[in-house]
Amino acid sequence: MNFDRRTFLRRSAIAGASLALGTSALRALGRTSGTAPSTGGSMKFRFYPYTLELKHVFTVATNSRTTTAVMMVEVEQDGLTGYGEASMPPYLGESHATANAFLSKVDLTKYPDPFRLEDILRDIDAIAPGNNAAKAAVDIALHDWLGKKMGYPWHRIWGLDPAKTPVTTFTIGIDTKDVVRQKVKEADIYKVLKVKLGRENDKEMIETIREVTDKPIRVDVNQGWKDREFALKMIEWLATRGVEFVEQPMPKEQVDDIAWLRAKSPLPLIGDESVVRLADIRKAIGVFDGINIKLMKSTGMHEAYRMIATARALGMKVMIGCMTETSCAISAAAQLSPLADYADLDGALLISNDLFSGASIVDGKVTLTGMPGIGAIKL
Ligand code: MG
């Protein structure tokens, strides 16, 4: 071997000089480094509250509302801005006040750039428990920035085929017969309807829709049925009315009842409120046939991707859902949708004051843009 001491010293000297000189000097030397030296924490972080106006009063088993509080987030570095969003329907416990308090504790100047995603997200998660939507907002903004920096949308970075996005359901909230008929008409381009049940008029809701359309229906009970025998009878009836599956039929605390129901149910059961984050999937084994993953529950795209991989490994179906959100968070979720069996990504269609343009619904199908990052632009 001719690896002599002089060669070693010369190589060491170059390496030492590289560390001292930084990237510009390395480029001058005709060399590049795989790990760029710290740019000194120049990431800028901003957030501001916004309120989404809903086109219709939206009623599910547990509440009604006409607005949704959101917090918009921006991460800026190297002349690029990444956008994120926290959507906070009141029943989940987050608000402008909680998001403001949480995001005020986020310090991104500690990190050289958003490529330190694992460290950043782990540290943010450790700031306080809960605050999942606020955490998701930062995660989405970082992903948006990263995709823009790399020049690709995330579905490309993940290696996904944009043609494989699923159709999305259009949600019909609990309402009077006239309003339900009107909403079904509005949902003309959608190939599958999602119907909210869990109050006294469940059968009336379904019968009203069946008077005007024979489209497949997916039912979301939002934990509304408390008695398992009643739930089984309802599901058996729904199975004769063109219903594909039932989401969260019973309260998340009634795990044994849901497992009993699943063993007898003619329709698959999908867990939503029962499955919030990655660690909850183990509780869904033997209880649900699939899970509904939402960025506002999963703390963002990073953990949602892991949840999909875990659900798949366990043979579970995957649904990508949303809250009422602008096209910012919807576009972020849409990046994952080629991995899903089912999508419920109509959140931006239910509001009248969107701030972004991005993933859209074409002929009922989730349709991605080719724009980098989360694939959305601020209007
Ligand atoms: Mg649901």
Residue ranges and CATH numbers for the domains of the chain are 44-152 (3.30.390.10), 156-378 (3.20.20.120)
Ligand 1 centroid – CA 96 distance (Å): 23
pLDDT at res. 61: 66
pLDDT at res. 186: 85
Ligand 1 centroid – CA 38 distance (Å): 43
Ligand 1 centroid – CA 12 distance (Å): 59
Ligand 1 centroid – CA 318 distance (Å): 13
Ligand 1 centroid – CA 91 distance (Å): 13
d(C-alpha 337, C-alpha 163), whole Å? 10
d(C-alpha 267, C-alpha 371), whole Å? 38
Ligand 1 centroid – CA 186 distance (Å): 21
In sequence order, what are the residues at sequence separation of 6 or more whose Cβ sits closer than 8 angstroms to the Cβ of residue 88?
A: 68, 69, 70, 71, 94, 95, 96, 98, 99, 133, 296, 323
d(C-alpha 185, C-alpha 362), whole Å? 17
Ligand 1 centroid – CA 342 distance (Å): 12
Q: Is the pLDDT of residue 11 over 70?
A: no
Ligand 1 centroid – CA 222 distance (Å): 6
Ligand 1 centroid – CA 77 distance (Å): 36
Ligand 1 centroid – CA 201 distance (Å): 18
Ligand 1 centroid – CA 314 distance (Å): 21
Instruction: Provide the phi-psi class of 30: left if phi over 0, else alpha when psi is between -120 and 50, else beta.
Output: left
Ligand 1 centroid – CA 272 distance (Å): 5
With contact defined as beta carbons under 8 Å apart, do 206 and 234 qualify?
no
Q: Is the pLDDT of residue 90 over 50?
A: yes
% of residues, the chain, pLDDT over 90: 78
Ligand 1 centroid – CA 316 distance (Å): 16
- The more confident residue out of 163 and 174 is 163
Place of tokens 């002599």: 4
Q: Is the pLDDT of residue 103 over 60?
A: yes
With contact defined as beta carbons under 8 Å apart, do 183 and 359 qualify?
no
Ligand 1 centroid – CA 198 distance (Å): 11
Ligand 1 centroid – CA 43 distance (Å): 36
Ligand 1 centroid – CA 252 distance (Å): 12
- Kindly list the protein residues that place their beta carbon closer than 5 angstroms to ligand 1, a single-atom ion: 220, 247, 272
CB atoms within 10 A of CB 370: 10
Give 208-232 pLDDT, tens digit per residue: 999 999 999 999 999 999 999 999 9
pLDDT at res. 40: 56
Place of tokens 């306080």: 128
Give 229-268 pLDDT, tens digit per residue: 999 999 999 999 999 999 999 999 999 999 999 999 999 9
Place of tokens 């079904």: 184
Ligand 1 centroid – CA 247 distance (Å): 6
Ligand 1 centroid – CA 232 distance (Å): 18
C-alpha separations of 7 from 1, 11, 33, 144, 290 in Å: 12, 6, 20, 44, 60
Q: Is the pLDDT of residue 37 over 80?
A: no
- The more confident residue out of 324 and 32 is 324
Ligand 1 centroid – CA 265 distance (Å): 18
Report phi then psi at 39, rounded to 5. -85, 10
Ligand 1 centroid – CA 224 distance (Å): 11
Average pLDDT score, the chain = 90
Relative orientation angle of helices 96-103 and 132-150, to the nearest 10 degrees? 60
Give 48-80 pLDDT, tens digit per residue: 999 999 988 877 666 788 999 999 999 999 999
Angle at 87 between CA 116 and CA 198, to 5 degrees: 130
Would you mind telling me the total number of residues written for the chain in this entry?
379
Give the residue-averaged pLDDT of 24-29.
39
Ligand 1 centroid – CA 6 distance (Å): 68
Q: Is the pLDDT of residue 7 over 60?
A: no
